[in-house]
Amino acid sequence: MTWLCLGLAAVTVLAVVLLQDSALALGVIWGGLALAAACDLLLSVSSRNLVLETDLPDSGFSGLTAPFTVHLTARRGALPPRMELRLTLDDGLSAPAEILLEPRDGGARATVPLGLRRRGLQAVRAVALRYRSRLGMFEILPRRRLEQSITVLPNIQPVLSGEVHTRMLPLLDGHRSAHVRGEGSEFHQLRDFVPGMDPRKIDWKRSARVLDLVARETRAERNHQIMICVDHGHLMSETIGTLSKLDHAINNALALCWAGGLGGDTVGFYTFGPKPGLMIPPGPGRTAFARMRAACSELQQSDAETNHTLAMSRLYGALNRRSLVVVFSDFSDSVTAELLVENMAVMSRHHLVLYVALRDSALDRLAHPETLSMETIAHAVSAARFKQERAGVLDRLNRLGVLCLDTGPETLTPALLARYTDIKLQGLI
């Protein structure tokens, strides 16, 4: 329609310039075009004739998708053969730019996978349609306002799927007992010594009484105290994959909390940023998990820099017994990490500290570019320098007795649970 109007406009200009008596002909041409346009609009499906039905689940897990169903029907007549859809969403949701509605059941339907990128209440604000008029002269763009919301919760899929329970089998009663030196210090039972067992496990006094070799069997201790600490400062707002570092930390903190309950330990929760935040005292099992999940759902990102000194001082004063302190945090370079290192060193004198850092695979891609240019080389040098400083900080923490876990978000959950299992089996707490 646009090109037709432009062509007629050019013809009109030429006719006025070159021909003297062209007014009647031009009037007929433009009148015919206006009549055709009016007939096209009358024959087309009106936006008022459309009935829009939508469906969205009440809740979903961050990092996953939720199905948003759109069903369109016409009160009278048939729908256009091709209709496209576009959604107006809150920042915490994502969807394809354009969605094609498929004819089905006398109407048109589409199921849109909404990406859940941020915790909290997120809404679909509007639905915009696009379809051609009956004669193809116009594109009709109706828009319907919506206020359909979904509550995005921390992702506990590893808990619901049984992944956490499966990875905790070595610590659960009735499963693999500890035979390796250092695997647990709590006495479990006596058993006959058989070839292949560690001779240091032999109980010589009892062996002398029964005139046969008897070994002591131990298992991992229970009822330890775990304090999970999550940093919500501005550095944790960096996005890795589809989620921020804070959301990755929350999801894995909940998985560790559930694992701690299965392992017979008490679990507490602590948040910190520019100043100390919420502190939930250690509690057993599912009670701690429910309280922690509710707190994580309301935890908001801070725009200010984290004060590690204030945060760790508050935590150090609150702990009344040796604990496993798991810290989810981040640093930008070796200079800003100085306070982090100093406070982790103080904490590690009386507690076992596990520092969890999220590695961004984008740094590896920048450090090893596929094409060479002045820009990519500059990015590669900066990325390599940052990786070197990061490795230096983690090495310093290791030498100070702080356990470090530096991995990507896709492997963080199994790596974190494996490290927790090793700590329990080796009796490090």
* Neighbour-count burial of 281, counting CB atoms closer than 10 A to its CB (0-12 exposed, 13-18 middle, 19+ buried): middle
CA geometry: angle at 308 spanning 226 and 330, to 5°?
A: 80
pLDDT of residue 181: 38
Confidence at residue 418, expressed as pLDDT on a 0 to 100 scale: 92
- Between the alpha carbon of residue 390 and those of residues 146, 364, 394, 395, 428, the distances in Å are 46, 13, 6, 9, 26
Backbone torsions φ then ψ of 103, nearest 5 degrees: -60, 130
What is the Cα gyration radius of the chain? 32
Record the pTM. Answer: 0.77
Q: How many of the other CB atoms lie within 10 Å of CB of 206?
A: 14
pLDDT tens per residue across all 429 residues of the chain: 565 566 656 666 555 555 556 666 666 666 766 777 777 667 677 778 888 899 999 999 999 999 999 998 888 877 888 889 999 999 899 998 888 888 877 788 999 999 999 998 999 999 999 888 877 777 888 888 988 999 999 999 999 888 898 888 766 654 444 333 344 445 567 778 778 777 877 888 888 888 888 887 765 556 789 999 999 999 999 888 889 999 999 999 999 999 999 888 999 999 999 999 999 999 987 889 999 999 998 898 898 999 999 999 999 999 988 999 999 998 877 777 888 899 899 999 999 999 999 988 888 888 878 888 888 888 888 888 888 888 899 999 999 999 999 999 989 999 999 999 988 888 787
State the pairing for strand pair 139-140/120-132: antiparallel
In this structure, the number of other CB atoms found within 10 A of the CB of residue 394 comes to: 19
Give me the DSSP letters along 2-57: HHHHHHHHHHHHHHHHH-SS-HHHHHHHHHHHHHHHHHHHHHSPPGGGEEEEEE--
Q: How far apart are CA 29 and CA 23, in angstroms?
A: 10
